[in-house]
């Protein structure tokens, strides 16, 4: 068993935006071509504390050098008050020859980067005729910051970021981090969510809201909303938008805004397409200039696998990680001497 901790994961993923984007893109393409296996995620919730959860995402990503494994990711929103991150995770990769667990990786960095890469891929694939010059981020946490970094990688014209967070101190701290990391980026904090929605035609929602609290009424026509936190928009706003998802079966569950929209409308007809099908199409997707387009990624376990495999492959030649040679039982012949 090879164990790779967060420092080692950072070491191989920091500055590797192009490789991460390529890995996530390939995972979406393979999913669209039916080359994945993706059971529903398992949500473990606690009767005494409905805010917290731990989700298991088993997955298989096929074709050349197939990978199988699982991400086990906890969300404890109260952690941030004591300086810990909301999310923490572990990943296991299994051998496709024997099924044995081979690699154990710290998973929160992988999870954040694959989420950011998927949002950035959508922002570039669901383009418009007007280049994006600014982005609004509602929810100023770990995921928002990673998304901003990946958006900057795919949209070099991004010059302004407008921030909003229910907790003003989180928005101010986020703005300070942006200034330190990207001194040329203009950073402003909006007074309310509507101000942020109206500021740019590219909007990202990465809050911890458990139930819808926003409409898209304040958005400009032609806006693309990256609805990463999945439960912010009212079902009515979803029903009036052009909707792109990662997988309709996955995203219409667990009281997401799309799940509520399905319950309200009685069908999934409001979903226009999937990101995998957009990426596989011969013709580029142009989002309409007179409506709002919403990208809602459930967050597929195949993306985590793609990145974990990338980490493992990049870590190996660098000699990173800790080997635990006797983690698994010895083969029967060896044990008996
Ligand atoms: N779809 C995916 O693939 C995917 C993957 C990872 C995380 N997520 C989701 O992204 C979200 C953000 O994760 P994070 O790790 O950055 O969390 P975080 O706790 O670090 O940050 C969330 C921020 O949202 C703010 N917030 C909460 N409610 C708000 C509201 N109504 N309006 C404005 N701001 C609000 C909080 O104050 C906090 O600053 C979570 O909901 C998480 O489940 C989605």
Taking the alpha carbons at both ends of the chain, their separation in whole angstroms is 22
pLDDT, residue 337, reads 45
In testing the pocket of ligand 1, which one of 112, 139, 193 has its CB within 8 Å of the most ligand atoms?
A: 139
- pLDDT, tens digit, for every residue of 222-269? 999 999 999 999 999 999 999 999 999 999 999 999 999 999 999 999
CB 297 less than 6 A from any atom of ligand 1 = yes
- Of the listed ranges 82-86, 119-123, 297-301, 332-336, the least confidently predicted one is 332-336
pLDDT, residue 335, reads 54
Indicate the SS3 state at residue 224. Answer: strand
In testing the pocket of ligand 1, which one of 206, 230, 246, 297 has its CB within 8 Å of the most ligand atoms?
A: 206
Cα 141 to the center of its chain, rounded Å: 13
Whether 40 has a pLDDT exceeding 70, the answer reads yes
- Rounded Cα distance between 324 and 111, Å, is 24
Report CA(141)–ligand 1 centroid distance (Å): 6
- pLDDT, tens digit, for every residue of 290-329? 999 999 999 999 999 999 999 999 999 999 999 999 999 9
- Rounded Cα distance between 90 and 303, Å, is 14
Contact 81, 56 (CB under 8 A): no
| Helix (H) or strand (E) run with residue 160 in it | strand 160-164
Show the domains of the chain with their CATH numbers.
2-110+301-335 (3.30.1780.10), 128-296 (3.40.50.720)
- pLDDT, tens digit, for every residue of 163-213? 999 999 999 999 999 999 999 999 999 999 999 999 999 999 999 999 999
């Amino acid at each position: 068993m090879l164990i790779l901790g967060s420092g080692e994961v950072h070491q191989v993923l920091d500055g590797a935006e192009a490789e991460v984007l390529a890995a996530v893109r390939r995972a979406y393409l393979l999913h669209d071509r039916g080359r994945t296996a993706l059971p529903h995620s398992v949500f473990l919730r606690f009767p005494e504390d409905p805010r917290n959860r731990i989700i298991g995402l088993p997955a298989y990503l096929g074709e050349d050098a197939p990978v199988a494994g699982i991400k086990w990711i906890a969300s404890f929103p109260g952690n941030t008050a004591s300086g810990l991150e909301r999310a923490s995770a572990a990943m296991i990769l299994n051998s496709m020859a024997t099924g044995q667990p081979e690699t154990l990786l710290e998973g929160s960095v992988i999870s954040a980067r694959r989420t950011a890469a998927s949002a950035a891929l959508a922002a570039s694939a669901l383009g418009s005729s007007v280049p994006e010059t600014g982005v609004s981020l509602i929810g100023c946490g770990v995921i928002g910051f990673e998304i901003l970094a990946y958006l900057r990688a795919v949209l070099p014209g991004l010059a302004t970021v407008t921030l909003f967070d229910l907790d003003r101190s989180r928005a101010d701290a986020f703005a300070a981090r942006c200034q330190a990391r990207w001194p040329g980026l203009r950073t402003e904090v909006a007074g309310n969510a509507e101000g942020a929605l109206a500021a740019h035609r590219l909007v990202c929602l990465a809050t911890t809201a458990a139930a819808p609290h926003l409409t898209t009424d304040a958005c400009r026509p032609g806006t693309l909303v990256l609805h990463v936190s999945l439960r912010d928009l009212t079902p009515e706003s979803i029903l009036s938008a052009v909707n792109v998802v990662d997988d309709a079966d996955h995203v219409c569950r667990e009281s997401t805004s799309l799940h509520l929209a399905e319950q309200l409308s009685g069908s999934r007809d409001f979903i226009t397409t999937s990101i995998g099908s957009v990426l596989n199409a011969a013709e580029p997707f142009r989002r309409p200039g007179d409506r709002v387009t919403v990208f809602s990624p459930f967050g597929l376990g195949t993306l985590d696998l793609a990145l974990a495999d990338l980490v493992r492959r990049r870590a190996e030649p660098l000699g990173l990680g800790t080997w635990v040679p006797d983690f698994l039982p010895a083969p029967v012949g060896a044990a008996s001497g």
